Amino acid sequence: MFKKKLLSFLILFIFAVLIGCTSDKEETKGKEEPETKEEQKEDSEDTVEVKDDEEDEEIEDAQASADEEQIIDGKVIVKEDENVIRVEAETNLIEGTFVNVNVFKAFGELSSPIGEIGSEKEEIKSDGTVSIDYPLDEDFFEKYHGEYIEVQIEVRVMSFPENVVETYGEHGKKFKGPFVYQFDLIEPEQRLYVPIYIKVGDERTEYTIETPEREPLPDDYGETDVWLEAEVVDNDHRFLYVEGKSNLLEGMMLQGRYYSDEEATFPQVLHNTKMFIEPDGTFLLPVKYDSITNDGYIEVQGAPVRSHRTKEQIYEVYGENFENLTGEVVKEVDDHQEILLTIESEGIDMDAPEDSLVTEDDGELKIQVPDDVLFDFDKSDLKADEKTTLDEVIDILEALDDGEDVQINGHTDNEGDADYNLKLSEERAASVEAYLSKNGDLNHLNIEIKGYGETQPIESNEEEEGRAKNRRVEIVFNKE
């Protein structure tokens, strides 16, 4: 009996052990077996290699950014409703690089920035983009209506993060490409620089950032035997545009002025326009004028002034008084030498009527007669003894072909009530048209009159000189 019970117990025990072993195997079947020390070491080395690869890729990206030319694309948007100028740019600059935006009156007419705080900057995002809003004064669009401004987009390596300085070098010495300009206003540096020129109040509100096309440098670039070639390539009702090339050092400031004839002691506009020699020795200089004349000419000047962008290099090579310069365009002036080039400008085959100004834009002629020549203050009736100017206008209009369009436009400054100014400008335009039609044979022309009031100034209304030019009557037509 005892043997039977013992045998039963042993059978149950063995059965239980077998079940337990089977259960343990099933539990461990879904689990990974523990790694050996060698396997763990290999895994650790793989992880380190992945991290090293990522760091190497970052270093290679930074080196690639340093080796390639810097690219800036995008646009500048004038947003009058928000009172800002917006810069939207796409670049290949690395994250952490700052872009600065300033706004100035164009062509050297005002040296201080325009706007509430003077300068705006934003950091490049990881995708290379940046958006900057440059705030303007509340009266900006009224104050500068009709004026040209320059939106300056700049990248300077100064107080940048260490990785940015390592990529582009101290003072931007590693910058490359057509956007690179030399400066030494404080100390020598390279900047990425994009100038965008905008006419305030123009219908156009978007301006594309375009990559400059550089010409090969002249073989004698930077030599002291200097030369300068230039010609008038375009004009509008305010500027004659002079395009040229030289072997002058980059950053040299050139000034332009227009003289009515060889007998003129002073240029028509006393404030000279200014531009700088480009990195390839070329330049485009707008020259401001009041009235085109048949004997008029342009003078382009480069003088030893302190406003050159690369003044230290220029003085080192050319001398403090430009005494090292030679060449046909170099002239002795008082106690120094200057670069002076005279360019004959094409006339309009028409003498300007007495006490008037004549401007041109792509064949469109505009005779501007100041209001004080024709009217007493705040009046719209023509002066009885000052009609010589209009009689000469009649001679010009009578010679036009049949069916030509003629516009007679009245304008005022911004003094006083806007509605009153609009009415006054309309009445003055009507008075001029009535005199011309009554005293001339103009039935073959399509004459239209319009008053613009204070909405289309040609100069700033901040000073009396500008307001006087804005008070005018214009006779506009196309020349044959």
Q: Which of 180, 208, 236 is the last residue of a domain?
A: 208
Tell whether 465 is covered by a domain.
Answer: yes
The model's pTM? 0.82
Q: Is residue 52 part of a domain?
A: no
Q: Count of domains in the chain?
A: 3
Tell me the helices (H) and strands (E) count for the chain, helix number first: 9, 22
- Note whether 322 and 200 are same-domain residues: no
Question: How far apart are alpha carbons 245 and 405 in whole angstroms?
Answer: 40
Q: What angle do CA 295, 258, 267 make, to 5 degrees?
A: 100
Same domain, 461 and 410: yes
Structural domain contains residue 165:
yes
145-178 pLDDT, tens digit each: 888 999 999 999 877 788 899 999 999 999 999 9
Mean pLDDT of 453-475: 90
Let me know whether 98 and 141 are in one domain.
Answer: yes
Contact 191, 71 (CB under 8 A): no
Supply the CATH number for residue 281's domain.
Answer: 2.60.40
Q: Which of these three, 344, 376, 410, is where a domain ends?
A: 344
Q: Give the C-alpha separation, 472 to 355, whole Å.
A: 12
**What's the chain's average pLDDT?**
86
Q: Are residues 203 and 263 in the same domain?
A: no
What does the pLDDT average to over 214-242? 96
Tell me the range of 152-166, 236-250, 378-392 where mean pLDDT is highest. Answer: 236-250
Q: What is the pLDDT of residues 180-194, one digit of tens each?
A: 999 997 889 999 999
What DSSP string runs through 328-378?
Answer: TTEEEETTEEEEEEEEE----SSPPPTT-EEEEETTEEEEEEEHHHHB-TT
Q: Is the pLDDT of residue 468 over 70?
A: yes
Contact 150, 193 (CB under 8 A): no
Structure tokens at 349: 């085959």
258 and 151 share one domain: no
Q: Is 188 helix (H, G, I), strand (E, B) or coil?
A: coil
CATH code of the domain in which 425 resides: 3.30.1330.60
If asked whether residues 242 and 179 sit together in one domain, one would say: no
Secondary structure (3-state) at 139: coil
Tell me what the mean pLDDT of segment 105-127 comes to.
81
Q: Which two tokens stand for residue 28?
A: 């461990």
Q: Is residue 241 part of a domain?
A: yes
Percentage of the chain with pLDDT > 90? Answer: 71
Domain with 249 in it: 228-344
Same domain, 147 and 268: no
Q: What is the pLDDT of residue 271?
A: 86
Q: For the CA atoms of 3, 8, 12, 18, what is the dihedral angle to 10 degrees? A: 70
Compute how many other C-beta atoms are within 10 angstroms of the C-beta atom of residue 154. 19
| Statement to judge: residues 277 and 182 lie in one domain | no
251 and 376 housed in the same domain: no
Of the candidates 104, 101, 97, the one whose C-alpha atom is nearest the C-alpha of residue 87 is: 101
> In the predicted model, is pLDDT for residue 127 greater than 90?
yes
* Averaged pLDDT, 375-380: 92
pLDDT average, residue stretch 43-61: 48
The pLDDT value recorded for residue 112 is 66
Query: Does some domain include residue 310?
Result: yes
- The secondary structure of 287-341 as a DSSP string is EE-S---TT-EEEEEE---TT-TTHHHHHHHH-TTSTT-BSTTEEEETTEEEEEE
User: Is there a domain that residue 288 lies in?
Assistant: yes
CA distance 437 to 449: 12
Among 291, 313, 344, which residue terminates a domain? 344
Same domain, 76 and 194: yes
Q: What is the pLDDT of residues 289-335, one digit of tens each?
A: 999 999 999 999 999 988 999 999 999 999 999 999 999 999 999 99
Shared domain check, 183 and 157: yes
Q: Look up residue 455 and give its amino acid.
A: T
pLDDT value, residue 62: 44
What pLDDT does residue 116 have?
Answer: 57
C-beta separation of 99 from 153 below 8 A: yes
Task: Looking at the structure, tell me whether residues 317 and 252 fall in a common domain.
Answer: yes
What is the C-alpha R_g of the chain?
37
Does residue 437 have a pLDDT over 50?
A: yes
Is the model's pLDDT at 34 over the cut of 60? Answer: no
Would 20 be classed as within a structural domain? no
Residue 462's pLDDT is what? 81
Task: Order the strands of the 84-91 sheet from edge to edge.
Answer: 129-135, 84-91, 72-79, 206-208
pLDDT-based confidence at residue 384 (cuts at 50, 70, 90)? confident
Is 31 within a domain? no
Query: How high is the pLDDT of residue 216?
Result: 96
